[in-house]
Chains A and B, each alone.
Chain A
Amino acid sequence: MDISKFTSKKFLAKAGGLLAILVFLATFPIYSSNSDVDIGLIILMYIILTVSWVMFSGPTGYMSLATAAFFGIGAYTCAFLYQKSGPLLPLPAAIIAGGLVTFIFALVVGLVTLRLKGMYFAIFTFGLIMLLNQFMVYYELNILGARGQRVFPITNQTAFYIVLVILVLTLLAAYLIRRSRLGLAMQSIGENEAAAAHMGVNTNVVKIFAFAISAFFMGLTGAAMAPRWEYVDPSVAFNMLYSFMPVLMAVFGGMRELYGPVIGAAIFAYSERALRLRFPYHYMLAFGITLILIIIFLPGGLTGLVPTLKDKLSGLIARLRKGGQSERHANT
């Protein structure tokens, strides 16, 4: 009885905390300046990219650098469907289409590449960004006749709410996948792919499907950002930073718990903005050093500290108690 009460209390506290954060985020654009909303939007965007990157690459250990490719496909899909000259679809439909096109594209890419292991997979996914980038440059110049696409604009506030909805969906999906048999299968693949296959895990199907789900959220995000930018061209849509930053943010925050990538991305994206304004020439240096220190001293990332601290704390409490007892013993 006591235990169930305790857990339900804990559960309520967690739910309450989440609700408070959600209310804060939902009301944020109302009382904040336009530039603050802009920063908030970028932070939310990076949280989604990081969480969806960890969704696949975290448990399986397959290092994907295709985030920018999927982001760009989503952005371009939306740009074509939600043109400045006259949107072909309403905005929500254009964004969902961006996610779906990316999902299908990732299925095809996964089918071809997920037989590759380790470094080869990482290199292929990296090559994918350049391939798509160059393809769009060629396509726009030779077929469409002009570089870049004009997109029907939306305000920062609208973009913020759309991205917030996508973030909630991404977190929900990540939470459910971690607890599903798909999540277990991905973990077993990351631990030992051969053993997983011999235990009946259809490794190719699991990898391809999970890869495509994570790509879906990246595509949605790209699609949501396109109208905010009003203009999309290959170098904006397929910016390699969107591939590298989520990896760094995930390592920074730690990947064991779901909130690790969230915290990593939030701190990283915010400080990147803040530092770049104040120290435009040195901020990258600070980043580099911080990352090196984290990798050397905190291989589990920032949130990897939590269990260690808990251990230390409970050890300390135990020692204090023991000390108190022996003292009492000595007195008697």
Chain B
Amino acid sequence: MPILEGQGVTKYFGGLAAVSNVDLHVDQGEIVGMIGPNGAGKTTLFNLISAAFPVSSGEIRFKGQKLTGLKPHQICKLGVARTFQETKVFTNIPVLQNVLVGAFFGSPNRVSWADAARETSQALEFVGLSAMSAVPAKDLTLVNQKLVEVARALATKPDLLLLDELMAGLNPTEVSEAMELVTKIRDTGITILMVEHVMKAIMGICERIMVLHHGEKICEGTPQEITCNKQVIEIYLGE
């Protein structure tokens, strides 16, 4: 059974269809990639799933429950966590408190201080930032800020994690490390849907890839199928 399903998901900005009639499904335990040229609607689709803004039409379901009409904080509590394309860490507060926010508020139940603290230190250790917990987030490098976002999302104890261009701006070593991290997250039982431009990463770890172009889903398949798809090659390389 799919953990996330979307049917006919559509979003208009004015007259422009940013996302148009997209069907999607993500199965429990998968790593699914989403690619497409700039402006294809990938981030918009993430924003629709996490309810940053409402869909114009269509329906999104998470574990069979309709997400349409819910607020972002409710969706987070249901078990969908996300990171942001342009990092949105809480810049002036220490890394520890950044992650603590997720631990406290991401759960549907009231979390005690002891549990939140344990949750937070586990998440920080998982992404390898334990040593920096006292540093204000703004003093970290880009890659570490992105890791703070991942730790913050993990602290909300998600079942589905949306990663929006986690690898963008990272050097090759950092990309390999991030790929390992994503696989490691999946191995803890968290399903992953990721938007990515770094092909090495997306081809290396995704089991299935969706391609968006002008807001529409033009194809879907294994990395092998995608690289051989004529339409995809046309979009990326021209005819």
- Roughly how many angstroms separate A203 CA and B71 CA in the complex, as a whole number? 10
The answer to whether A198 and B52 touch (CB under 8 A), given A187-B97, A203-B73, is yes
Residue A200 interfacial (CB < 8 Å): yes
- Roughly how many angstroms separate A195 CA and B101 CA in the complex, as a whole number? 10
Asked if A195 contacts B84 (CB within 8 A), the reply is yes
Query: B90's contact among A181, A188, A202, A203, by CB below 8 Å, is which?
Result: A188
Minimal beta-carbon separation of A257 from chain B (angstroms)? 14
Asked if B90 contacts A195 (CB within 8 A), the reply is yes
**Which residues of chain B from 79 to 95 have a CB within 8 Å of any chain A CB?**
81-82, 84, 88-93
Q: List the B side residues contacting A197 at CB < 8 Å.
A: 71-73, 76
Asked if B76 contacts A198 (CB within 8 A), the reply is yes
Residue A191 interfacial (CB < 8 Å): yes
Query: B105's contact among A187, A191, A200, by CB below 8 Å, is which?
Result: A200
A192-231, CB under 8 A of B: which get 1 and which 0?
1011111111110000000000000000000000000000
Q: List the A side residues contacting B106 at CB < 8 Å.
A: 199-200
Residue B191 interfacial (CB < 8 Å): no
Query: B76's contact among A181, A191, A200, by CB below 8 Å, is which?
Result: A200
Residue B156 interfacial (CB < 8 Å): yes
The answer to whether A191 and B90 touch (CB under 8 A), given A197-B72, A198-B82, is yes
A163-197, CB under 8 A of B: which get 1 and which 0?
00000000000000000010011011001101111
- Roughly how many angstroms separate A202 CA and B88 CA in the complex, as a whole number? 17
- Roughly how many angstroms separate A202 CA and B100 CA in the complex, as a whole number? 15
Residue B62 interfacial (CB < 8 Å): no
The answer to whether A199 and B76 touch (CB under 8 A), given A191-B91, A191-B92, is yes
Report the interface size class on chain B. 20 to 34
Minimal beta-carbon separation of B3 from chain A (angstroms)? 18
Query: B93's contact among A191, A200, A201, A202, by CB below 8 Å, is which?
Result: A191
Minimal beta-carbon separation of B175 from chain A (angstroms)? 24
Q: List the B side residues contacting A202 at CB < 8 Å.
A: 71, 73, 105
- Size of interface on A: residues with Cβ below 8 Å to B: 17
Q: List the A side residues contacting B71 at CB < 8 Å.
A: 197, 202
Asked if A196 contacts B101 (CB within 8 A), the reply is yes
- Roughly how many angstroms separate A181 CA and B113 CA in the complex, as a whole number? 9
Query: A200's contact among B52, B84, B88, B107, by CB below 8 Å, is which?
Result: B107
- Roughly how many angstroms separate A197 CA and B77 CA in the complex, as a whole number? 10
> Which of chain A's residues has its CB closest to B152's CB?
A199
Asked if A195 contacts B88 (CB within 8 A), the reply is yes
B152-163, CB under 8 A of A: which get 1 and which 0?
110010000000
Asked if B101 contacts A192 (CB within 8 A), the reply is no
Q: List the B side residues contacting A181 at CB < 8 Å.
A: 104-105
Residue B50 interfacial (CB < 8 Å): yes
Query: A198's contact among B50, B91, B93, by CB below 8 Å, is which?
Result: B50
- Roughly how many angstroms separate A195 CA and B98 CA in the complex, as a whole number? 10
Asked if A187 contacts B90 (CB within 8 A), the reply is yes
- Roughly how many angstroms separate A191 CA and B98 CA in the complex, as a whole number? 10
Query: B77's contact among A188, A200, A203, by CB below 8 Å, is which?
Result: A200
Asked if A184 contacts B104 (CB within 8 A), the reply is yes
Q: Which of A194, A196, A199 has the most CB of B within 10 A?
A: A199
B165-182, CB under 8 A of A: which get 1 and which 0?
000000000000000000
Residue B41 interfacial (CB < 8 Å): no
The answer to whether A192 and B90 touch (CB under 8 A), given A198-B82, A199-B152, A200-B107, is yes
> Which of chain A's residues has its CB closest to B138's CB?
A191
- Roughly how many angstroms separate A238 CA and B93 CA in the complex, as a whole number? 36
Residue B102 interfacial (CB < 8 Å): yes
Asked if B102 contacts A200 (CB within 8 A), the reply is yes
Asked if B88 contacts A194 (CB within 8 A), the reply is yes
Minimal beta-carbon separation of A81 from chain B (angstroms)? 37
B59-75, CB under 8 A of A: which get 1 and which 0?
00000000000011100
> Which of chain A's residues has its CB closest to B78's CB?
A200
Minimal beta-carbon separation of A114 from chain B (angstroms)? 14
- Roughly how many angstroms separate A187 CA and B93 CA in the complex, as a whole number? 8
> Which of chain B's residues has its CB closest to A205's CB?
B73
Minimal beta-carbon separation of A267 from chain B (angstroms)? 26
Asked if A185 contacts B92 (CB within 8 A), the reply is no
Minimal beta-carbon separation of B36 from chain A (angstroms)? 22
20 example contacts (A-B, Cβ-Cβ < 8 A) are as follows A181-B104, A184-B97, A184-B104, A187-B90, A188-B101, A191-B89, A191-B92, A191-B93, A192-B90, A192-B91, A196-B90, A196-B101, A197-B73, A198-B73, A199-B105, A199-B152, A200-B73, A200-B102, A201-B101, A201-B105
Given contacts A195-B88, A199-B152, A200-B102, 17 further A-B pairs with CB under 8 A are A181-B105, A184-B101, A187-B93, A188-B93, A192-B88, A192-B89, A192-B91, A194-B88, A198-B72, A198-B73, A199-B105, A199-B153, A199-B156, A200-B105, A200-B107, A201-B101, A202-B73
Task: Report the 4 A-B pairs with minimum CB-CB distance, sorted nearest first.
Answer: A191-B90, A200-B105, A195-B88, A200-B76
Which residues of B come within 8 Å of A, CB atoms? 50, 52, 71-73, 76-77, 81-82, 84, 88-93, 97, 100-102, 104-107, 152-153, 156
